[in-house]
Amino acid sequence: MDRRTFIQSLPCLGATMALPTFAFADGTRPKVSMETAGQTAKSTSMPEPRIGVIAVGGAGGTILSELYGRLPYLTHSTAIDIDEGALQRVAADRKILIDDSMVRPGDARAASLLAKDARTRIADAVTDLDIAFIVAGMGGIAGTAISPIVAEILRKNQVMTVAAAFTPVNSEGPRRHHIAVDGMLALGDIANATFRISNDVLCWHVCQRDLLLWASPATTTFERLYRGITEPIASSDYLLRHDSGSLRECMSNDGSSAIGYGCASGRNAAEDAARKAIAHPLLGEDRLNSASGVWVLIEGAPEFLKLRQIGEIKDLIREFLSVSTAVADVVFFYGGIRNKAMEVDFRVTILASGIPLG
């Protein structure tokens, strides 16, 4: 499905091409056991991680194209599809066309077998990475069938893999939804973390907010996920820097993962941004307090972001983790970065992993 067709199919959007972002919130409470702050001094000795984005199918290709040239620390991007026309339109460093001559509409298994034949080409394109992001829409053939195979190849090569799986809107029907669920389960078994990102939630709750923001919520969400993970690992400006070992420790392939993000300016901006991230419709208190790993990126304008604000935001988020009695040891990483180009005073991104599948 191309972006125009997809957007036109959304009940809440009509034919609008521009989809904005963001959230809102409130809440509080406690229980955490393992909390790890990174190094307080900037580390210059860490090797630069090799980071890749692999977009599979139509939705993945659209999101990658929108972000092409805008993702910091990216070593290279790869687009994979069975649709030659769609692949030609994608902006990516590398492209892999999987032969679809045997694929019938709706036959995800055939695509999966074909992709197995193309394993060598996929492996050649992606196994030089340390951290890989797979981005795909679930419910069609390409994204659903090929993403788990890509994840399997990455896993075999010990590449830390984070998947962003976009789920169909209700109006696309139950069949597509069931295919999507199977695809996410397959992906979830293999990738280090699989973020389930509901197109329904993006449509109904996110794009109805802040109409001044002229960006697709799916693209914005993937960008937040990408930056949320890469800034703490790759930026030399990050206060309390982490490494990919910390990420592996935090991201669990048990259950699913969820992202929340929020921004704010003015009085109480740090707290407001954190509360918006916690209550983001893709995250929410329930998911946050059942997560076994939580990873937080705090971005602030240089004049506002101090270690004190980082500490306050960390304490606020920690109160929510303590609510759960089910999770004995929450692995919690947090840190901040000063960003001169911020259009707001604070932005908080929360990645919660190991959420039991409900």
Ligand X SMILES: Nc1nc2c(ncn2[C@@H]2O[C@H](COP(=O)(O)OP(=O)(O)OP(=O)(O)O)[C@@H](O)[C@H]2O)c(=O)[nH]1
CA distance linking residue 344 with residue 148, whole number of Å: 37
Query: Contact at 8 Å (CB) between 56 and 87?
Result: no
172 is an interface residue for ligand X by CB under 6 A: yes
* Nearest residue (beta carbon) to ligand X: 137
Sheet holding 331-338, edge to edge: 34-37, 331-338, 293-300, 346-355, 256-264, 193-198, 160-167, 131-137, 51-56, 74-81, 94-97
Using CB under 6 A, pick the residue from 166, 222, 295, 332 that binds ligand X: 166
Min CB(163)–ligand X separation in Å: 13
> Mask of contacts with ligand X, 66-105, x by CB under 6 A?
----------------xx----------------------
Beta-sheet pairing, 160-167 with 34-37: unpaired
The answer to whether 244 touches 49, Cβ cutoff 8 Å, is yes
Q: Is 3 in the site for ligand X (CB under 6 A)?
A: yes
Using rule CB under 6 A, residue 141 touches ligand X:
yes
Q: Kindly give the residue spans of alpha helices, DSSP state H, lying in 90-141.
A: 108-117, 119-126
| Residue 265 DSSP symbol | -
Q: How far is the CB of 161 from Mg ion (least distance, A)?
A: 22
Which of 20, 58, 139, 148 binds Mg ion (CB under 5 A)? It is 58
Q: Applying CB under 6 A, does 195 fall inside the site for ligand X?
A: no
Judged by beta carbon distances under 5 to 8 A according to partner kind, the member of ligand X, Mg ion, none in contact with residue 310 is none
CA distance 210 to 44: 39
Under rule CB under 6 A, residue 58 binds ligand X: yes
In contact, 150 and 134? CB cutoff 8 Å: yes
Neighbouring C-alpha atoms within 13 Å toward the C-beta of 207 = 25
Name which of ligand X, Mg ion, none residue 139 binds, using a CB cut-off of 5 to 8 Å depending on partner kind.
ligand X
Candidate ranges 35-43, 58-66, 241-249, 258-266; the one touching ligand X (CB under 6 A): 58-66
Pull the structure tokens for residue 276.
């918006």
Segment contacting Mg ion by CB under 5 A, of 37-45, 96-104, 140-148, 332-340: 140-148
CA dihedral 232, 272, 135, 194 (to 10 degrees): 80
How many residues are given for the chain? 358
C-alpha span between 282 and 259 (Å, rounded): 6
Smallest gap from Cβ 224 to ligand X, in A, equals 14
Contact partner at residue 231 from Mg ion, ligand X, none, CB < 5 to 8 Å by partner kind: none
Candidates 51-59, 117-125, 205-213, 243-251: pick the segment binding Mg ion (CB under 5 A).
51-59
Rounded least distance, CB 63 to ligand X, Å? 7
10 binds, among Mg ion, ligand X, none (CB under 5 to 8 A by kind): none
Q: Tell me whether residue 57 or residue 336 sits nearer to Mg ion (CB atom).
A: 57
The dihedral built from the CA positions of residue 113, 222, 207 and 3, taken in this order, carries a sign that is negative
Using CB under 6 A as the binding rule, whether residue 1 contacts ligand X is answered as: yes
Nearer to ligand X, 47 or 174 (CB): 174
| Closest to 61 in 3D by CA, of 149, 150, 135 | 135
Residues binding ligand X (CB under 6 A)? 1, 3, 6, 57-59, 62, 82-83, 137-143, 166, 168-169, 172, 176, 199, 218
